[in-house]
Structure 1
């Protein structure tokens, strides 16, 4: 295929990616400023040119085909390369401006990053900051994410990594609860207590403890489960039982005595434990907005974390 035909394909490939991202022709057409029928014709033309079916259209939804998935990934890479061209010009001028999208686990976003938003935006008035709360896996390229924070012992490979500190899991309860029910002195004692867990999966009531060479896996139970750390903390404060939290969630409650740490000599293994890993895609030209955000967070993060 000659160069002119390849260039002509680029808008259609970009349109295809947006249709997949938005999940419908109507939503994608609104984003692109065209009619759904015009967009549908554009995609049909692309399918004809490529001699392959990209989308299965039904009255309810669009389903991407196997061929479409491969082409979608190539479109994502193409748009990322285009983005880097734009970033090259931005890095030349060194002006922190433009849109920056940051993803992080919900509790970390709310408690640690949210207080930094206003002062950061005040300092850099030409930056638009978009935050995405996500406790699941993040694909930087396909989801259009510039920076992701992960709380993990195993950061993703193939991405630039900056370690911003560490986070550990802490077991705690209210003083009233412990006065009424007793203080556990061994992980096995938790089977006699009400425990608050996430309730997201069939196994998140199973807690792992280790101390030296000793390991214990305990199946806890309780009358209240919620997959929101601040609501779970509220349950602990209301004397509903013992809960596990990332240390930044309960730092203040521990300091003011409204909760008491238990089994402090044991290490708890689980999600949101390990390094605070800031990661972003490999790029030759780091835009100024990305650089200043990383520097700003690194400077201000220490007071929210326990190292």
Structure 2
């Protein structure tokens, strides 16, 4: 395809992205100030040029095809590149301003990042933050995420990575529970105890412990499972049993004596532990708002003893 036709395709690709984002030709036409029939004709030309069906049109809704999903992702990347070019030529490249969308696991966002938000917004009054509590996989481009935090031993490939620290998993129980049921000395002792786990999957009640060359895989049991860290910690503090947590969740409770460490000479394998990985899409023109946010979080987490 020659250069002139490629250039001519760009508006049609932009229209396709807007139609998908808005969910209908009518909504997209209203946003662009044109008629729905004009947009429909543009999409038909695009499909003909690409020799691919992008949208299934019904009387009630538009359904994006598999080919359309792949092309939409490329359109989203093109949109992001265009936004970066505009920002490079604007004052935003120098002055921290504009919107940032941040995604992070729920507990990490609430306990570690949330206390940093107000001071950051006070220091940078022209920046707006949108925070998303997300524990699963995230596609930064298609979901409009600027920065994602992950607690993982395997950061996402293809994204810029900044290591901000380490998080490990820990067990704890209330002093009253330990007084009544005794302190476990080996992972296998947990068979005789009530344990609190996430209950997100069919296997997250199976805890793996490692020390030197010794490995124990223990299916635990208990009467209470909840995938909310603070609620699970409340259950532990109320004496419902032994819980497993990222260490930043129980840091204050350990310091105050509300909970006691359990089997702290063993390493626990599982999700929500490993590197604190801050990741974002590669860009030649980093907006000032993104640069100051990354620097701010990195500086404050260096003062926060996570593990």
- Alignment TM-score, normalising by the size of structure 1: 0.90
* 8 Å contact kept, 2:104–2:148: yes
Shift of 1:276: 0.6
CA distance in 2, matches of 1:151, 1:223: 27
Counterpart mapping for 1:58-97 below 5 A:
58=58, 62-90=62-90, 93-97=93-97
**Of 70-79 and 218-227, the range deviating more from structure 2:** 70-79
CA distance in 2, matches of 1:27, 1:195: 54
Q: 1:141-166, CA deviations, whole angstroms, 9 ceiling, x for partnerless residues?
A: 22111111111111122221111111
1:180 aligns with 2:177: no
**Of 253-262 and 63-72, the range deviating more from structure 2:** 63-72
Change (3 A) 1:256 1:202: same
**Of 35-44 and 13-22, the range deviating more from structure 2:** 35-44
Aligned to 2:107: 107
- Alignment TM-score, normalising by the size of structure 2: 0.90
1:229 aligns with 2:220: no
User: What is the aligned-residue RMSD (CA, Å)?
Assistant: 2.5
Aligned to 1:10: 10
CA distance in 2, matches of 1:92, 1:289: 8
CA distance in 1, matches of 2:90, 2:183: 58
Aligned to 1:32: 31
Shift of 1:140: 1.6
**Of 38-47 and 139-148, the range deviating more from structure 2:** 38-47
Uncovered stretches (5+) of structure 1, i.e. residues with no partner? none
Change (3 A) 1:19 1:104: farther
CA distance in 2, matches of 1:49, 1:129: 40
Aligned to 1:266: 266
Counterpart mapping for 1:133-144 below 5 A:
133-144=133-144
CA distance in 1, matches of 2:57, 2:305: 48
Change (3 A) 1:92 1:227: closer
Uncovered stretches (5+) of structure 2, i.e. residues with no partner? none
Aligned length: 306
Structure 1: 4+ residue segments shifted above 3 A: 1-9, 18-22, 26-46, 48-51, 57-63, 90-93, 302-305
